[in-house]
Structure 1
Amino acid sequence: MKKIIFSICTALFLTSCYHVEVNCKDFKTGTFEFTYEINGETKTGKSVRTDTLSVDYYENKIDTFTIRWVTECEFIGRKLHPVDYSDSKPIQMKIISTTEDSYLLEYNLLEDQSTKKRGTVKKLK
């Protein structure tokens, strides 16, 4: 019984010491590179973001999104010129953790958790 209690206490102690670094302010604006997957193929895109706009370059396309920061680490993006109704749905983006030059991003269509995905974004400038 003592071994079980000791094991539980040790596990709780070790997990309480785990700290994920999140320094979102360094990633609010700048030029970023991201990878994404379409039909099983990994591709690379680029994004230039200000406080209120994001211009994304991918697959020889350019999309512009308005940006509204909800918290220090979470923003909502909405296409400036959607082509149809599904294209106009806002995207919720949340920075989960950061390193010196990149962050782990979790994103989904707003209010649709079934579309949730994760990706890594690297800051270029």
Structure 2
Amino acid sequence: MKNFFFVTCLALLLSSCYSVERNCKDFQIGTFEFTYEINGETKTGKSVRTDSLSIDYYDSKIDTFTIRWVNECEFVGRKLHPIDFVDSKPIQMKIISTKDNTYLLEYSLLEDPKTKKRGTVTKIK
């Protein structure tokens, strides 16, 4: 029992020293570059984001999303001109951590945790 108490205290002490950097305000507006995968091929896209719009350039396409910030680190995007019902579903995006000019992003269709993915985004402007 003594060993269990000691190990628990040590684990709590070590985990309390680690904090994830999240300077989300720095990444709300700007021009960003991201990588994504289609059929096993990694590609690069670009996104230009204002406080209420995101214009995404990827795979020879351009999509415009309206965005609504839920808090400093999370926003919901909805296509401005969806082509069908599935395309009209909102996407939830959450900044998990930041470092220098990059951030780790977790995204999924709103309220659909089965579609959750992660990616790294770099701010270029």
Gaps of 5+ in 1: none
Alignment of 1:30-45 (within 5 A): 30-45=30-45
2:72 aligns with 72
2:15 aligns with 15
CA distance in 2, matches of 1:108, 1:67: 14
CA RMSD in angstroms comes to 0.9
Q: How many corresponding residue pairs?
A: 125
CA distance in 2, matches of 1:53, 1:104: 20
Question: Percent of counterpart pairs with the same letter?
Answer: 76
SS at match of 2:69: strand
2:49 aligns with 49
2:122 aligns with 122
The superposition leaves residues 2-42 of structure 1 with CA deviations (integer Å, 9 ceiling, x where unpaired) of: 44332221111101111000000000000000001111111
Query: What TM-score do you get using the length of structure 2 for normalisation?
Result: 0.96
The one-letter code of the counterpart of 2:12 is: L
1:113 aligns with 113
CA distance in 1, matches of 2:84, 2:9: 54
Gaps of 5+ in 2: none
1:29 aligns with 29
The superposition leaves residues 39-94 of structure 1 with CA deviations (integer Å, 9 ceiling, x where unpaired) of: 11111100000000000000110000001001011000000010100000000000
CA distance in 1, matches of 2:80, 2:49: 14
Runs of 4+ in 1 over 4 A off after TM superposition: none
